[in-house]
A and B are shown apart, each in its own frame.
Chain A
Amino acid sequence: MMTLKCFAIQCCLLSVLSIVGVGQATPTDPELTGIQAAAVGQDITGDQTGASTLAPNSGTNALNLALALTTGKPPQVCIERLKRDANADQNTVGGGNKKLMKFLSLSDDPFCSAYLILNSDQYRAASKYVRGKAFSQLQQTVERQIIKEVKTMSQQAGSSSGTGGSTYLTSKGIAAKFLSVASEYGALTESTSGQTTTVNGTLAGVPVALMKKGIAEECSTKLLAATPCFNHKVVDYLSRISYSLSYDTSQSGQTISGTAVGSSSGTSQEVTATGTSHSINAVSGKWVIIQGTSSPTDIQSALSKLVKGKPAPAQKASEAAAFLQEIELAEAPAKVSKWQSDKAQTLVADMAMDSTGKKAIADWVNMGTSFVQTLDGTLTPDINGTEAANSDVIKNAIQLAIDYSAYLGVEEDAAIAVAKPAYLTFEYDENRPANQPTNSVFRGIFQHKIGHQASITINGAISIYDSPPSTTIPGASRLRDAQFAMQADEPFSLNTAFTGKVGMTLSEAFYFQDQTSPAILNVNPGSPVNGVSFTGLPANATQIFAQKGNIGIGQIKLSIGTGSSLKVPLSVTYSNRTELIVKPTWRAQIGVSYDLDSLFQGK
């Protein structure tokens, strides 16, 4: 008889990081005017005369001004481009130093040009003016944001196959992108089903989330002093290592049982108490040993999704760049071209004198002051801090630097999310099921794509008890069982007038377990196993075991909603036996999962 046994609701949460307030004084503080008021979160909206100097990026405030302090060393990508372009121009006689002129241009290298502006005397005057108030607060803010991000990110997925409460017959090689939380009900290989909540993710989740929020940078493009940086290759590798923690929520509370020791003294009795609570019932780690490359179709799809998500940093960086580029290309092209030509000549001469590029780099980082003055003649090197802080050129350069960095984080986030086939994965599970001896599972996972969309997943695993089982259990050994599982997935879609196009995946799975050692349950007559009743159990029994044998399970599953946020998996499962019950079982399962990640994309 078929029973409707399992109903899983999975939900996920991905935090949206918000800038927290940093001000301790109020903007109405009589001692604070203009830029100082901005130090407590107000936009820079007026100079000392009260005249409006609002720039297109009116969101620029003192927090950004302090945040935009450049790191001492120029970004590596700028150093590399400078050397490459200088060498090329050096070798092109009569070429007019075209490549270096482009390098020195906001319209052709907005990233390195933004660094140059933020390394100018004019910017330093502006930041010095507000740094005392804003910078220490900024550091606290960045720390708070990092902690908040780590604490609040969450997403969903299920536990590994074979763990208590898992509804999956096979393990796959890829885990959720960030942290995730899932709740499942109904085990396939165990007779006692439990409610399991799983938290999992990859080690790359936190660095990428911080980069996406603009509070960390990739090291080769590190522009800002206040933010930490992560190497792109390290982040990419970390995305291949995932983890999960499963929590058995069916254990409503700790159960304590007592066994009498010694003789009673009147109405008093000494006991030895033991607790049976199992909070974490599985810990897993996965390492993708052999990973394939993303398909061009998947990358194209990720790029389209990125653009459609309207990431705020793209728009803000584009607007700030356009403001500065209009000055360079339309308002003062002759002046800027002359500056670019002169400075390019200097850099070529530097490279001729020092082929390592050190002299050229040292000269380049000092060109910011003259660059800013070329863009706006009123921004002289000795300008006072108030005027510099209210300059549209400075404000837009800050906005460009901050949002450009954040946009690179958005791109990194999209790149990490692009599916890369995990050909071969190693998985380790430490299972701590309630009322059972703990055991370790070592699993190899092989995945292969067949044709355009279908895929096959093969698992092979052995499970061992963490400590030798009691010698009083016949046939018991350290090797608990050996497992083999195979699953085929075939995505397809149905197009109806009523629903439109609905993505689906048909999966067929087979699982085999050679139970080389009997399944063991720890029992205590005073505190019976939840959901299991015994008849005729001796009062002094501490462990019970079942008849060992082979377990075979077959499953057909239809997942409705493939590719969308809402998914409804329906499955029918047959097993010849479970670890405890030696009779065949039929199960029907239905689940609902909703990916809340989609709600936050592009925000």
Chain B
Amino acid sequence: MAACLLTPIQGQVNRFNSKPGNLTLSVQNLQGQTNLDTLNSHVKDVTNPHSPISVTSTCTSTSITFTVQGGKTYFINLAFAQIPPFNSQANVNETPCGQNIDSIDVTNLFPAYVVIA
């Protein structure tokens, strides 16, 4: 099994330490269908919080990928669309290692994560 880049920071929500490399977060449908909103999902380099820099990412309806560089901090905000809207459920997993990062449902269509490399 491939090694994961992300390690959750204990006692904190949606904050992760990361090894450098190509990080891919993928959608796994559990109930109904969930798509990543490619237009409203973004990655920013917030190493210097006063001057955030947009990071190039590859975003499809099922995954988002970007390169994590050592020493940098990233802010990821994702947006999802679901049908049916009130009882669909999906997981966000790190791939290819399969680590579960988050659950997406009607209350969590716009999640955010901080990744510290």
Q: Which residues of A contact B (CB under 8 A)?
A: 77-78, 81, 96, 98, 101-102, 105-112, 218, 220-221, 232, 294, 296, 299-300, 302-304, 306-307, 310, 314-315, 317-318, 321-322, 325-326, 328-331, 333, 337, 340-341, 404, 407-408, 411-412, 414-415, 418
A307 x B12 contact (CB < 8 A): no
Given the interface pairs A111-B106, A111-B108, A300-B33, the reply to whether A333 lies near B15 with Cβ below 8 Å is yes
A213→B10 CA distance, assembly (Å):
41
Q: Does B55 contact A (CB under 8 A)?
A: no
Q: Which residues of B contact A (CB under 8 A)?
A: 10-15, 32-33, 35, 37-40, 42, 46, 49, 61, 73, 75, 77, 79, 81-86, 102, 105-114
Given the interface pairs A318-B77, A325-B112, the reply to whether A341 lies near B84 with Cβ below 8 Å is no
Residue of B nearest to A321 (CB): B110
B35 x A307 contact (CB < 8 A): yes
B12 partner residues in chain A, CB cutoff 8 A: 333, 337
Give 6 nearest A-B pairs by CB, closest first: A411-B85, A325-B112, A321-B110, A111-B107, A318-B40, A105-B13
Residue of A nearest to B78 (CB): A318
A315→B77 CA distance, assembly (Å):
12
A52 to chain B, nearest CB (A): 18
B13 x A107 contact (CB < 8 A): yes
A412→B86 CA distance, assembly (Å):
8
A559 to chain B, nearest CB (A): 27
A418→B32 CA distance, assembly (Å):
13
A-B contact pairs, 27 of them (CB 8 A): A96-B10, A96-B11, A105-B14, A107-B111, A107-B112, A111-B106, A111-B109, A221-B86, A232-B84, A300-B35, A307-B37, A310-B39, A314-B40, A317-B109, A322-B42, A322-B77, A326-B112, A328-B112, A329-B14, A329-B15, A329-B75, A330-B46, A330-B114, A331-B49, A341-B11, A407-B109, A415-B83
Beyond the given A78-B107, A300-B35, A411-B85, could you list 14 further A-B residue pairs with CB under 8 A, ordered by the A residue number? A77-B86, A102-B13, A106-B112, A110-B108, A232-B84, A303-B33, A303-B82, A314-B40, A314-B79, A337-B13, A411-B81, A414-B83, A415-B83, A415-B84
B37 partner residues in chain A, CB cutoff 8 A: 307, 314, 318
Given the interface pairs A310-B39, A318-B40, the reply to whether A303 lies near B14 with Cβ below 8 Å is no
A302→B84 CA distance, assembly (Å):
11
B11 x A337 contact (CB < 8 A): yes
A102→B100 CA distance, assembly (Å):
14
A337 partner residues in chain B, CB cutoff 8 A: 11-13
B107 x A109 contact (CB < 8 A): yes
B83 x A411 contact (CB < 8 A): yes
A330→B61 CA distance, assembly (Å):
27
Residue of B nearest to A103 (CB): B107
A110→B79 CA distance, assembly (Å):
11
Q: What is the predominant secondary structure among interface residues of chain A facing chain B?
A: helix
A333 partner residues in chain B, CB cutoff 8 A: 12, 15, 114
B108 partner residues in chain A, CB cutoff 8 A: 108-111
A108 x B102 contact (CB < 8 A): yes
B55 to chain A, nearest CB (A): 14
Residue of B nearest to A110 (CB): B110
A81→B106 CA distance, assembly (Å):
11
A318→B36 CA distance, assembly (Å):
13
Given the interface pairs A102-B13, A303-B61, A333-B12, the reply to whether A77 lies near B106 with Cβ below 8 Å is yes
B86 x A306 contact (CB < 8 A): no
B110 partner residues in chain A, CB cutoff 8 A: 110, 317-318, 321-322, 404
A317→B11 CA distance, assembly (Å):
27
A329 partner residues in chain B, CB cutoff 8 A: 14-15, 75, 112-114
A102→B14 CA distance, assembly (Å):
8
A221 x B106 contact (CB < 8 A): yes
B113 x A304 contact (CB < 8 A): no
B112 partner residues in chain A, CB cutoff 8 A: 106-107, 321-322, 325-326, 328-329
B4 to chain A, nearest CB (A): 17
B83 partner residues in chain A, CB cutoff 8 A: 294, 299, 302-303, 306, 411, 414-415, 418
A110→B106 CA distance, assembly (Å):
10
A101→B9 CA distance, assembly (Å):
13
A304→B10 CA distance, assembly (Å):
36
A108→B112 CA distance, assembly (Å):
7
A304 partner residues in chain B, CB cutoff 8 A: 35, 61
A110→B40 CA distance, assembly (Å):
15
A100→B55 CA distance, assembly (Å):
31
A111 partner residues in chain B, CB cutoff 8 A: 106-109
A232 partner residues in chain B, CB cutoff 8 A: 84-86
Say which residue of A109, A218, A314 sits within 8 Å of B86 (CB atoms).
A218
A411→B79 CA distance, assembly (Å):
13
Given the interface pairs A105-B13, A329-B112, the reply to whether A315 lies near B75 with Cβ below 8 Å is no
B111 partner residues in chain A, CB cutoff 8 A: 107-108, 110
Residue of A nearest to B37 (CB): A307
A207→B112 CA distance, assembly (Å):
31
B113 partner residues in chain A, CB cutoff 8 A: 107, 329
A331→B73 CA distance, assembly (Å):
12
Residue of B nearest to A294 (CB): B83
B15, B40, B83 — most chain A CB neighbours (10 Å): B83
B109 x A404 contact (CB < 8 A): yes
B81 x A303 contact (CB < 8 A): yes
